[in-house]
Chain A
């Protein structure tokens, strides 16, 4: 599959800011890369940067993705993120001050407890997403971590989370899906199919949860 090479309407100066947050090793940077590739394919200017300590060592990883007609600084200012993909509930809470009022927030409700909490030095917040919901944001939650393990590989959480955000972007979800699947082209059809499933699951699961909550 190839990403459609169409030029987006870039008449405005609006820059879209997406924050992707989680823990090293979860695929935060890859998800941010896929989002960037999709925006690039539509003709946007794109910048992506990480605030990552030691990415593969279980530390905090935050990717900033910015796209629009022209992007200047790669860093999203506090209070300026339009959307957030949270790979872990407490990490989503950690960055809440970066969100705009009303920002769309997709969170994988699968807590990862760091050793400093395990050995009793610090407490994991009791209800991080409850706290986050108190900020004026549009919160969607789903246990993508468990779903990924059920699909057969915990790394699929990445594709599920991309599916979650797909219907909230200023471009068609198919563009994001194409950018995602493009990464797996050379690794064989079975991986492409698996990620297609994970992406679809993310789109559906997060919407479903949303409907339930609004009832």
Chain B
């Protein structure tokens, strides 16, 4: 997280969309902000955490997070909840009923879609939630608009007594641009007023709220039709016009500067009539939206003739060079924007860090046969990749345990002797995994659970969680005791093992013994994420060239600091060919975790420096 540096007298700041949300919350007098970390939305709460006037927290999952924000709104305060697209799936139970209650203090839900799946298990279009939950939605196109629309959202929320969704995408969250803030306002919390007919959603009360929600839809449609966030930018060339919102707006402006554009900021309910008028002024109308053909479908249903996903890609991010070939073709032009083919180059997939405590686990899992391993969401999902190829499933947060339970119960005769395992991290376990463990113990499942406790939310950058003993602000708080927790969830004390993941023999022993047992067991690892301050590095290692036999065992660890220097093919006494890979260790990257020495039979991995020289290479 980088602090803004006030180097400009004119108050121009260079900040990301995520920081713009934070500053808008601050300047709008927001009192409560909550989130569970998730790319690309994580930094929003990290920035808000710096503002003393806002209570802010890492919640344990998105549903809890939204409910905290709902509570604050019902208490009459302005509140904000931020999450990534898949987070809304988790929070949706609360969302779908809160829409009947509405908002008291301004309630803003910031949803960040990972369009193009840079770090997600799927690609979802969160604009559906506006339709599904009957909620108004604002879609900024850059950081400045993100600031302005987030501020506006609080006021809209109070005026129409409705939660407001601000929909961002990666290309908004993580794009830095020039932002100027407007004067801050103070907001006096209204206090909690008992109103059971509105706040207690039993059938009798809820039924009466549904017509009110429908009436609100009508009102919001009129608001959208007249709203200044929805406007036409005239152009000199009427052959094609565009309706667009969010990041796509600037891609359109870049690619077709002379075309008329209908810029949609208040994107749901969509101003259908205003767009219909616009459509009459251009020869062809193209809807440019990320990702699903949502507005396009609504316009077609309203009888407006449009082009959309019939000519544009339906997956991934749009960009000027993505639009040009499609639109030029529609206009019958020869396409000048054809892509130059890129030479085939090796991929560089994300990998586990040097000395990551998960490396030892995956080394073991890749060496144990006869397993079905259900994985989960976090850094350790990378265990599905090379060289380990150790995970058989990954679906959603917490799914490893319950999916493993289903595999156990649904196994065929062919899988009778397979060991079913679940691999999950500490934060994911608390997010939604605990319930799966309770299901396993309650229903007598046979699953060996690997709980990889690195005391942090690693994948999003090492944020704190109840396993850290620290809160969002880095202040000391309770630290969850996983052994006690698993015991309370019904795992027998003797079936719970705490292990050091850098000790391979201990890991193998625990795995072998627990997979043999026909009842649930939990193996908890206890070493911190290397990206956090808890991790302390040791003097680096090197390879003694004279001793390395090229067996390549250490490469199975998958540590990025181990590199192959040369390969050889030899003929073994039995006549078979064997590939040898001789290695060295990038001493500048190695942090001396010693895991690879466990795998080296000829003891070729040795300290890189003698003890007296250690200080010379110490890097803070």
Question: What are the residues of chain A within 8 A of B118 when measuring CB–CB?
Answer: 51-54
Q: Does B251 contact A (CB under 8 A)?
A: yes
Chain B nearest Cβ from A57, distance in angstroms:
3
| CA distance in complex: A33, B118 (Å) | 20
Q: A56-B353, A57-B352 are in contact. Are A78 and B563 (CB under 8 A)?
A: no
Bits for B1-27, please: 1 = Cβ < 8 Å to A, else 0.
Answer: 010010111001010000000000000
Give every chain A residue within 8 A of B142 (Cβ-Cβ). 47, 74
Binds A, one of B47-55, B336-344, B444-452: B336-344
Q: Do B176 and A47 have beta carbons less than 8 Å apart?
A: yes
Q: What are 8 A-B contacts with C-beta separation under 8 Å?
A: A37-B5, A46-B178, A53-B119, A78-B339, A97-B339, A123-B346, A124-B346, A131-B343
Give Cα A71–Cα B352 distance, bound, in whole angstroms. Answer: 36
Given the known inter-chain contacts A118-B555, A120-B579, please indicate yes or no for A5 contacting B346, CB distance below 8 A: no
**Contact present for A57 and B382 (CB under 8 Å):** yes
B8 contacts which of A41, A79, A113, A117 (Cβ < 8 Å)?
A41
Chain B CB within 8 A of A121 CB: yes
Name the 3 nearest CB pairs between A and B, nearest first.
Answer: A57-B350, A122-B346, A73-B254
Contact A58 B351 (CB under 8 A): yes
Give the docked Cα–Cα distance between A118 and B560 (Å).
9
Do A97 and B342 touch (CB < 8 A)?
yes
Contact of B588 among A46, A51, A96, A154 (CB under 8 A): A154
- Do B343 and A59 have beta carbons less than 8 Å apart? no
B567 touches A120 (CB 8 A): yes
Per-position binary interface string of chain A over residues 19-35, scored 1 when its CB falls under 8 Å from any chain B CB and 0 otherwise: 00001100000000100
Which one, A24, A93, A153, contacts B345 given CB within 8 A?
A93
Q: In the complex, what's the smallest C-beta–C-beta distance from A139 to chain B, in angstroms?
A: 16
Q: Is A102 an interface residue (CB 8 A)?
A: no
Q: How far is the CB of B247 from chain A (nearest CB, A)?
A: 8
Tell me, yes or no, whether A160 is within 8 Å of chain B by CB: no
Report the separation of the CA atoms of residues A115 and B552 in the bound assembly, to the nearest whole angstrom: 13
**A114 near B343: Cβ-Cβ < 8 Å:** no
Judge if B177 is at the interface, Cβ distance under 8 Å.
Answer: yes
B interface footprint on A32-66 (CB within 8 Å = 1, 0 otherwise):
01001100110001111111111011111000000
Shortest A144–chain B CB gap in Å is: 13
Tell me how far the C-beta of A135 lies from the nearest C-beta in chain B, rounded to whole angstroms.
10
* Chain B window 553-578, contacts with chain A (Cβ cutoff 8 Å), 1 for yes, 0 for no: 00100111011100100000000000
B175 within 8 A of A: yes
A154 to B355 Cα, complex, angstroms: 18
Does B183 have its Cβ within 8 Å of any Cβ on chain A? no
Contact partners of B382 in chain A: CB under 8 A: 57
Q: With A49-B174, A74-B171 given, is the CB distance from A116 to B386 under 8 Å?
A: yes
6 further interface pairs, Cβ-Cβ under 8 Å (given A59-B350, A118-B583): A74-B177, A77-B319, A116-B346, A118-B562, A119-B387, A119-B581
**Contact (A115, B558) CB under 8 Å given A41-B7, A94-B345:** yes
Specify which of B5, B9, B461 is in contact with A5 (CB 8 Å cutoff): B9
> Contact between B12 and A40 (Cβ–Cβ < 8 Å)?
yes
A40 touches B8 (CB 8 A): yes
Among the listed B7, B347, B353, which residue makes an inter-chain contact with A37, where contact means beta carbons less than 8 Å apart? B7
Contacts of A94 in B (CB 8 A): 342, 345
Q: Is A125 an interface residue (CB 8 A)?
A: yes
**Which chain B residues border A36 with CB–CB below 8 Å?**
14, 176
CA distance A93 to B552 in the complex (A): 29
B residues near A120, Cβ cutoff 8 Å: 564, 567, 579, 581
Chain B residues within 8 Å of A, Cβ to Cβ: 2, 5, 7-9, 12, 14, 118-119, 142, 171, 174-178, 250-251, 253-255, 257, 319-321, 337, 339-343, 345-353, 379, 382, 386-387, 459, 461, 531, 552, 555, 558-560, 562-564, 567, 579, 581, 583, 588, 619
Contact string against B for A residues 88-99, beta-carbon threshold 8 Å, 1 for contact and 0 otherwise: 001101101100
* B346 A54 Cβ-Cβ under 8 A: no
Q: Is the CB of B560 within 8 A of A115?
A: yes
User: Are B340's CB and A78's CB within 8 A?
Assistant: yes
Residue of B nearest to A51 (CB): B118
Residues from chain A with a CB closer than 8 A to the CB of B348 are 23, 58-60, 91, 114, 116
Given contacts A3-B7, A40-B14, A78-B339, contact A33 B251 (CB under 8 A): no
Contact assessment for B588 and A149 in the assembled complex, using a CB-CB cutoff below 8 Å: yes
Are B250 and A74 within 8 A (Cβ)? Answer: yes
Contact A59 B345 (CB under 8 A): no
Q: How many residues on A have C-beta within 8 angstroms of the other chain's C-beta atoms?
A: 58
CB of B349 within 8 A of CB of A50, answer: no
Q: Which residues of A sit under 8 angstroms from B174, Cβ to Cβ?
A: 49-50, 52
- Residues of chain A within 8 A (CB-CB) of B555 are 115, 118-119
Q: Taking the nearest CB of chain A, how far is it from the CB of B34, in angstroms? A: 24
Q: Roughly how many angstroms separate A47 CA and B350 CA in the complex, as a whole number?
A: 26
Q: How far is the CA of A23 from the CA of B558 in the complex (A)?
A: 17
A182, CB-defined interface residue at 8 Å: yes
Other-chain contact of A74, B175, B340, B349 (Cβ < 8 Å): B175
* Residues of chain A lying within 8 A (CB to CB) of residue B321: 75, 77-78
In angstroms, Cα B447 to Cα A153, docked, is 46
| B211 CB → nearest A CB, Å | 44
Residues of B within 8 Å of A131, CB to CB, are 343
A33 to chain B minimum Cβ distance, whole angstroms, is: 7
When the two chains form their complex, are residues B7 and A182 in contact, meaning their CB atoms are under 8 A apart? yes
Q: Which residue on A lies nearest to B16, using beta carbons?
A: A48
Whether A72 is near chain B, meaning CB under 8 Å from some CB there, is yes
Whether A2 is near chain B, meaning CB under 8 Å from some CB there, is yes
Complex Cα distance, B588 from A149, in Å, reads 8
Least CB distance from B376 to A in Å reads 16
Residues of B within 8 A of A57 (CB): 350-353, 379, 382
Chain B residues within an 8 Å CB radius of A53: 118-119, 349-350
Q: Please, which residues of chain B bring their CB within 8 A of the CB of A71?
A: 177
Say whether A121 contacts B171, CB under 8 Å: no
Contact B178 A40, beta carbon cutoff 8 Å: yes
Contact yes or no, B563 A118, CB < 8 A = yes
| B7 contact from A5, A93, A116, Cβ within 8 A | A5
**Which of B7, B175, B559, B583 is in CB contact (< 8 Å) with A47?**
B175
Q: Which residues of A contact B560 (CB under 8 A)?
A: 58, 114-115
A116 to B583, CA, bound (A): 14
Contacts of A75 in B (CB 8 A): 171, 251, 319-321
CB distance from A182 to the nearest CB of B (A): 6
Contact status B7-A54, CB under 8 Å: no
| B8 adjacent to A119 (CB under 8 Å) | no
Q: Which of B176, B255, B340 contacts A48 (CB 8 A)?
A: B176
- A113:B563 contact, CB within 8 angstroms: yes
Contacts A40-B14, A79-B340; A59 near B349 (Cβ below 8 A): yes
Give the residues in chain A near B345, CB-CB below 8 Å.
90, 93-94, 125
Q: Contact: A58 with B350, CB < 8 Å?
A: yes
**What B residues does A113 contact at CB under 8 A?**
563-564
A132 CB to closest chain B CB, in angstroms? 10
- Across the interface, do A73 and B320 meet the contact criterion of CB distance under 8 Å? yes
> Closest approach, in angstroms, between the C-beta of B484 and any C-beta of chain A?
32
Minimum C-beta distance from B147 to chain A (A):
15
CB-CB under 8 A from B9, the residues of chain A are 5
Residues of B contacting A124 in the complex (Cβ-Cβ under 8 angstroms) = 346
Contacts of A74 in B (CB 8 A): 142, 171, 175, 177, 250
